[in-house]
Amino acid sequence: MLGQGRGRAVSAALCAGALLLSGCTTGGEGADWETIRGAWIEDPTTFDPALTQTTDDYRAARLAFDTVVRRDLDGELVPGLAESWEQSADRVTLTIGAGHTCADGTEITPTVVAESLEYLADPDTKSLHTSGVFGEGEAAITADDDAGEVAIELSEPHSEVLPGLAIPQAGVICPAGLADPEGLAAGEVEGAFSGPYVLTENRRGVNYHFALREDYDSWVEYSEPLEGTPAKYLEFIVGAEDAVANQLLSGELDVAPVEAEELSRFADDGGFGTTTATTGEYYIMFNHRESSPFRDEGLRRAVARLIDREALREIVDPEGELIATLGDDTMQCANTDESLLLDQDGDAASDALDGVPVKVVGSDAIGPNGSATVYVRERLNAAGADADLQNTDVGSWVARLYDEPETWDVTVYATVNNMGTISWGLTTVLGEWHEDGGRNMTHSVNPEAAEALEAALSAESDAEMCRHWDTAQRAALETVDFIPLSMVTQSIVSRDGYAVEVPGGREDATTLRILD
Amino acid sequence: MNAITTRPWPAFLLRKAAELLLAMVALVVITFAIAHLIPGDAARVVAGVDATAEQVEDTRARLGLDRPLAAQFWDYLSGVLTADLGESFRTGQPVSEVIANRLPFTASIALFGIALTLGVSLALGLAVAGLTRGNRNPWLDSAFGWATGVVLALPVYVIGAVLIVVFAVNWGVLPAAGADSLYSYVLPTIAIALGPIASMSRLVRREAAVVLEQDYMRTARGRRISTFRQYAKHAVPNLLASTLTLSGLILAGMIGGAIIIESVFAWPGLGRAVVDSIIERDYPMTRGIILTVGAVAVALNTAIDIILALVDPRTLRAGKVLA
C-alpha cells in the first residue's frame, strides 16, 4: 500500500541520513489482523492510575489496570475484580473474585486490592481522584484474605464509592508497582499491571505499544457479549489530533477518535463506522459573587429565556444530546424533566438585561474557535446588555475562573466527567465553595439545593439518594443556578473489521475488538 | 596598516564570538521572560482543572513557583550554565532528554529540506537562466516567474494539506502523518522545502543570468567546454555566496517554522512539543526548547558567516570595514 516505485526511491534517499539522526525504522506496514492501530492526543503524563490527570492518562490506565467494579454497556455497575459488593452510607464491602492475576503472575488477593486502594486514599499520594472516590473524609481499608473481602470504611458518608471505584483512576496496582512508584509512573514495571494489556514499548511523542497478556482471563461479562476478539497488540500513535481523519482514510489507523467537524469525511464512505462516547457536560455557568450582575436571580432567568439551547448545542457539539441537568439519562438520578427549564422569551429577557454590563469569558476550546461564548455575547448584546467577551486558551480561562472571580460574570463551561455521575458536574455549581475546600466555582447561595446535595452524597440507599438529588436539581434549576446544555461527546471512527464499545457512554479501549 | 587590516581573521572570529555570546545572553533572558509572560496560573494548569485550592498551592510549592522571580531566574541561569534545563512540569521528564529525543526529528526534516532546496533550486535556477539567456524562450521566463510566485503565495499548511490529500488519502502511496517509517519523511520534507525552493531558484536564476553574461563565461563557451563543466566550474562558484547566505536564513527559518509542519503531519519534533508546552504552561519545557532552537539558529548563522568569509574573502574585509 505504501511506498511504490518512485516514492520508495525518494524516501529511501531522504531517510539515509535520518536513520543516523532519528533512528527511524523501515517499512510502512499495514493492518496485520492481530494489531489495532489507534491514536492518542498526547503522551500520557503518568502510568500510575492514581496520579492520572489527562484523557490519555485515563486511556492508558484503563488498558493496563483493572478495577474492582466496571460499567456495563448501559452504565449499570457490573463485577470487575470484585464479584459482588455490599454498600451502606459509610461502608463498602467488596468480595474479590478468584483467579485474577497480575502481569507477573501474582494472585490478586483482597490484600493486593486493599493495598492499592490504600495508596489511592492516602493523602500523601496527592491523587486528584481521592475525594471523588472516597468522599471528603478519610477511608480505612482492610482486607480479609480468608473471607475474600475488602472493607472500605468512611469517616464521612459518601454514596458514590462504587461508581468511583469503576473509573480507570481507581485501577488496581499490583505489589510490584507499589514497590516502585517511579517505575510505575514511567510504565516500566510490567508486574504492576492488573489489566488485560501490558505496555511493551514507549516512544514518547511517537507511539505506544501494548501487548495482550497471554494468561489474562478477567474479561468483563457484559450483559451482551462483545462481538469479535481482542487484538493481540495495540499501537497508539501520539499527537495526531489534526491528522487522525487523514490517517484513517489513508489506512494508517484502524480505530481513532475524530473531531466532530471531520466526521462528514466518513459519512459517504461505506468502510467506516462511528461510535459516540460521552465525556462530560456543557453548561452555562454564572458567577454568583457580589461583583457579578448574575448574583441576581432575575438576571439569570433573563439569560435562560434568551439562550436558544438547541442553537448553542449545535455550536458546541452537534453530536451531543440536550440535557436537563449535568448528566444524561444513563446516569443515576439524573433529571430528565425539561419543564424545569425556562422557555425562551426574548422580550422578557430584553426588559431585564437592557443596559446591564456583562463580562463574558470563554475558552477557544469550546465551540470552533471559542464560538460558544461569541454566541452568548451576541445574544446578550441583541437583548440590550453591554456584553464584553474575552476568549483565551484553556489555561488562562480556568485560572481566571478560579483566581480572578471579579473579572467574569458568565461562561460556557464543560466538565470532564470521568465518574459518570451527576454529582461531578453539580458540585461545580452547588454546595461547598472552592475556597473552602469544595468544588463549587460559582459561589452560588442556594441552601435548599446545597443541603439536598449533601444528603444525596451521604444517602443510605439508591432510592433515598435519588430523592435528595431530585430536590437538589429542582432547587437549582428553579433559581437558574446554571443552564444545562448538552453532553460533551467524542466520536470514535472505526474501519470495517474493527469495533469498540462505550460502556455507560464512556470510552474504554479494553472493548476494542477485531471482528471475525 | 593596523593589526586588524593585516590580520583580519582573528578580529573577525573575535567579533563573531562576541556576537554569539551576546545573542545567547539575550536568549536566556528572553526565554525566561517569555515563559512567565504567558497569561494564566501554571500551578493551576499543572494541578488540573479539578484540583482544590490546597492542591494548587502544593503544586505551586513543588514547582518552585512560589519563590521570588529573581530566585527562579538564578535557578534557570545556573541550570543553563551546567546544561541542566530542568524537568517538565507536566511529566517530570528532564527537558534535555525530551529535546534530545525530539531534536533529531526536527533537524532531519530541516536538513533534508535544505538539501532538497539547494539541489532543486540550483538546478532549476541555472536551467531557467541558461534556457532564457539572451531573451530566448520568454514564455519559460514568464512560466517560471508565475509558478514560483504561486508556490510562494501558498502557506506551508496549505501545501502540506494538499500533499496529504493527494499522496496519502487519494493515492495511498505515502503516510499522511506520524514518523513511523522511512516514507513518513517524504511529505513533510517536500512541504517544508517547496516555498524555499521557489524563492531560492528565483535568486539563483537572477544571479546566474548575470554570471552567464560575464566575459569568462563567453570565453568558456567559445572554447567549446561542455555545458556541465561551464556551469560546474565557472557559474556555480560565483553563485555560492548569495545561495549560502540565503540557505543559512532558510535553514534557521525551517527549524523555527517546523511548528506548523509538525502539527499538519503529527511529526514528533520540537515544534509540536513547544506548542503543547505553552498550552500546558510547562515553563521549563517552553524555555528549554526555545533556547535550543534559538541557539541552533544563532550557531547556524555564525557558521554561515564563517563559511562565507572562507569562500569569499571580500566578506571578511567588508566585516572589518563595518566593524
Backbone angles phi, psi at A242, to 5 degrees: -80, -10
Mean pLDDT of A338-364: 95
Residue B101 has pLDDT above 80, yes or no: yes
What is the structure's pLDDT at B4? 47
Minimum-distance CB partner of A243 among B49, B177, B280? B177
Among chain A residues, the shortest Cα distance to B100 is held by A22
Contact A395 B40 (CB under 8 A): yes
CA distance B89 to chain A (A): 10
What is the structure's pLDDT at B317? 63
What is the structure's pLDDT at A13? 44
Q: What is d(CA B128, CA B208) in angstroms, rounded to the nearest whole number?
A: 9
Paired sense of beta strands A357-363 and A386-392, if any: parallel
CA distance A508 to chain B (A): 22
Q: What is d(CA A394, CA A372) in angstroms, rounded to the nearest whole number?
A: 14
CA distance A15 to chain B (A): 6
This prediction has a pTM of 0.83
Q: Is the CB of residue B282 less than 8 Å from the CB of residue B86? A: no
| Model confidence pLDDT, tens digit, residues B57-86 | 888 998 999 999 999 999 999 999 998 999
393-432 in A: which are within 8 Å (CB) of B?
393-400, 402-403, 416
Minimum-distance CB partner of A437 among B52, B167, B176? B52
What mean pLDDT, rounded, does chain B reach? 86
Q: What is d(CA A149, CA A357) in angstroms, rounded to the nearest whole number?
A: 59
Residue A300 binned pLDDT confidence (cut-offs 50, 70, 90)? very high
Minimum-distance CB partner of A11 among B101, B183, B273? B183
- Bridge partners (DSSP) of residue A495 are A272
Q: Is the CB of residue B257 less than 8 Å from the CB of residue B270? A: no
What is the structure's pLDDT at B318? 57
Question: In chain B, pLDDT over 70 holds for what percent of residues?
Answer: 94
Q: What is d(CA B91, CA B57) in angstroms, rounded to the nearest whole number?
A: 18
Q: Is the CB of residue B243 less than 8 Å from the CB of residue B284? A: no
Residue A17 binned pLDDT confidence (cut-offs 50, 70, 90)? very low
Minimum-distance CB partner of A403 among B41, B104, B165? B41
Handedness of CA A78, A82, A87, A89 (dihedral sign): negative
Contact A27 B181 (CB under 8 A): yes
Residues in chain B with CB shorter than 8 Å from the CB of A238 are 266, 268
- In chain B, the largest separation of any two C-alpha atoms, in whole Å, equals 85
Inform me whether the C-beta atom of residue A33 falls under 8 Å from chain B C-beta atoms.
no
189-218 in A: which are within 8 Å (CB) of B?
204-207
Residue A438 Cα distances to A402, A450, A483, angstroms: 12, 12, 21
Minimum-distance CB partner of B185 among A2, A15, A434? A15
A310-314, A500-504, B89-93, B317-321: which has the minimum mean pLDDT? B317-321
Residue A331 Cα distances to A60, A287, A327, angstroms: 24, 26, 6
127-166 in A: which are within 8 Å (CB) of B?
128, 131-132
What is the structure's pLDDT at A403? 84
Q: SS3 string of B96-113?
A: HHHHHHHHHHHHHHHHHH
What is the structure's pLDDT at B40? 77
Mean pLDDT of A28-39: 75
Q: Kindly state the cell numbers that stand for A481.
A: 443556578
CATH 3.10.105.10 fits A278-489, yes or no: yes
Q: Is the CB of residue A243 less than 8 Å from the CB of residue A483? A: no
As to burial, measured by CB atoms within 10 angstroms (0-12 exposed, 13-18 middle, 19+ buried), residue B138 is exposed
Q: What is d(CA A371, CA A313) in angstroms, rounded to the nearest whole number?
A: 11
Q: What is d(CA A252, CA A266) in angstroms, rounded to the nearest whole number?
A: 15
Backbone angles phi, psi at A72, to 5 degrees: -75, 175
Concatenated DSSP letters of A100-169: -B-TTS-B--HHHHHHHHHHHH-GGG--TTHHHHH-SS-EEEEEETTTTEEEEEESS--TTHHHHHTSGG
Inform me whether the C-beta atom of residue B61 falls under 8 Å from chain A C-beta atoms.
no
What is the structure's pLDDT at B79? 93
Mean pLDDT of A294-306: 97
What is the structure's pLDDT at B288? 95
Q: What is d(CA A9, CA A14) in angstroms, rounded to the nearest whole number?
A: 9
Inform me whether the C-beta atom of residue A26 falls under 8 Å from chain B C-beta atoms.
yes
Q: Is the CB of residue A330 less than 8 Å from the CB of residue A504? A: yes
| Model confidence pLDDT, tens digit, residues B138-180 | 999 999 999 999 999 999 889 999 999 999 989 989 999 888 7
Q: What is d(CA A131, CA B95) in angstroms, rounded to the nearest whole number?
A: 32
Count of CB atoms within 10 A of residue A225's CB?
Answer: 7
Q: Is the CB of residue B104 less than 8 Å from the CB of residue A22? A: yes
CA distance B184 to chain A (A): 8
What is the structure's pLDDT at A7? 42
Question: In chain A, pLDDT over 70 holds for what percent of residues?
Answer: 94
Ordered by start, the domain boundaries in chain A are 3-271+496-514, 278-489
Picking from B101, B173, B259, B289 by the largest number of A CB atoms within 10 A of its own CB, the best residue to mutate is B173
Inform me whether the C-beta atom of residue A27 falls under 8 Å from chain B C-beta atoms.
yes
Concatenated DSSP letters of A298-342: HHHHHHHHH--HHHHHHHH-TTSPB-SSSS-TTSTT----GGGSP
Count of CB atoms within 10 A of residue A1's CB?
Answer: 13
CA distance B316 to chain A (A): 33
CA distance B7 to chain A (A): 39
Q: Kindly state the cell numbers that stand for B71.
A: 530566585
Residue A26 has pLDDT above 50, yes or no: no
Cite the DSSP H helix spans in A354-404. Answer: 371-382, 394-403
| Model confidence pLDDT, tens digit, residues A213-236 | 999 999 999 999 999 999 999 999
| Model confidence pLDDT, tens digit, residues A113-137 | 999 999 999 999 988 889 889 988 8
Residues in chain A with CB shorter than 8 Å from the CB of B41 are 395, 399, 402-403
Report the candidate in A217, A86, A102, A197 with the shortest Cα–Cα distance to residue A152: A86
Q: Is the CB of residue A30 less than 8 Å from the CB of residue B186? A: no
- Bridge partners (DSSP) of residue A285 are A411, A482
272-311 in A: which are within 8 Å (CB) of B?
none
Q: What is d(CA A272, CA A493) in angstroms, rounded to the nearest whole number?
A: 7
Inform me whether the C-beta atom of residue B177 falls under 8 Å from chain A C-beta atoms.
yes
CA distance B254 to chain A (A): 16
Inform me whether the C-beta atom of residue B169 falls under 8 Å from chain A C-beta atoms.
yes
Residue B6 binned pLDDT confidence (cut-offs 50, 70, 90)? low
Paired sense of beta strands A410-414 and A272-286, if any: antiparallel
Concatenated DSSP letters of B199-211: HHHHHHHHHHHHH
Report the candidate in A197, A207, A300, A200 with the shortest Cα–Cα distance to residue A512: A197
Q: What is d(CA B231, CA A338) in angstroms, rounded to the nearest whole number?
A: 80
Contact B181 A28 (CB under 8 A): yes
| Model confidence pLDDT, tens digit, residues B217-261 | 888 778 777 777 877 777 787 777 778 778 777 877 777 667 788
Q: What is d(CA A359, CA B37) in angstroms, rounded to the nearest whole number?
A: 23
Mean pLDDT of A91-113: 97
Q: What is d(CA A223, CA A238) in angstroms, rounded to the nearest whole number?
A: 33
Q: Kindly state the cell numbers that stand for B70.
A: 529573581
Inform me whether the C-beta atom of residue B48 falls under 8 Å from chain A C-beta atoms.
yes
What mean pLDDT, rounded, does chain A reach? 91
CATH superfamily of A3-271+496-514: Periplasmic binding protein-like II (3.40.190.10)
226-255 in A: which are within 8 Å (CB) of B?
237-243, 246-247, 249-252
CB contacts < 8 A (A, B)? 193
Minimum-distance CB partner of A14 among B55, B189, B266? B189
Inform me whether the C-beta atom of residue A471 falls under 8 Å from chain B C-beta atoms.
no
Residue A475 Cα distances to A352, A426, A470, angstroms: 22, 12, 9
The domains of chain B, with CATH numbers, are 2-39+85-317 (1.10.3720.10)
104-163 in B: which are within 8 Å (CB) of A?
104-105, 107-108, 111-112
Among chain B residues, the shortest Cα distance to A51 is held by B47
What is the structure's pLDDT at B256? 67
Residue A455 has pLDDT above 60, yes or no: yes
Contact B177 A240 (CB under 8 A): yes
Q: What is d(CA A98, CA A95) in angstroms, rounded to the nearest whole number?
A: 10
Inform me whether the C-beta atom of residue B172 falls under 8 Å from chain A C-beta atoms.
yes
Handedness of CA A54, A55, A61, A64 (dihedral sign): negative
Residues ≥6 apart with Cβ < 8 Å to B284: B85, B86, B87, B88, B89, B95
Contact B272 A8 (CB under 8 A): no
CA distance B213 to chain A (A): 35
3-class DSSP state for residue B114?
helix
Residue A424 has pLDDT above 50, yes or no: yes
Contacts 24+ apart (CB under 8 A), A122-125: A125/A50, A125/A51
Inform me whether the C-beta atom of residue B279 falls under 8 Å from chain A C-beta atoms.
yes
Picking from B185, B260, B262, B270 by the largest number of A CB atoms within 10 A of its own CB, the best residue to mutate is B185
Q: What is d(CA A456, CA A469) in angstroms, rounded to the nearest whole number?
A: 6
Q: What is d(CA A81, CA A63) in angstroms, rounded to the nearest whole number?
A: 14
Could you list the beta-strand ranges (E) of A30-122.
Answer: 35-40, 69-71, 77-79, 82-87, 91-96
Q: What is d(CA B136, CA B213) in angstroms, rounded to the nearest whole number?
A: 14
CA distance B65 to chain A (A): 15
Residue whose grid cell is 563543466: B229
Residue B275 binned pLDDT confidence (cut-offs 50, 70, 90)? confident
Residue A161 has pLDDT above 70, yes or no: yes
Amino acid letter, A275: T
Contact B40 A205 (CB under 8 A): no
Residue A84 binned pLDDT confidence (cut-offs 50, 70, 90)? very high
Picking from A1, A8, A21 by the largest number of B CB atoms within 10 A of its own CB, the best residue to mutate is A21
Q: Is the CB of residue A284 less than 8 Å from the CB of residue A307? A: yes
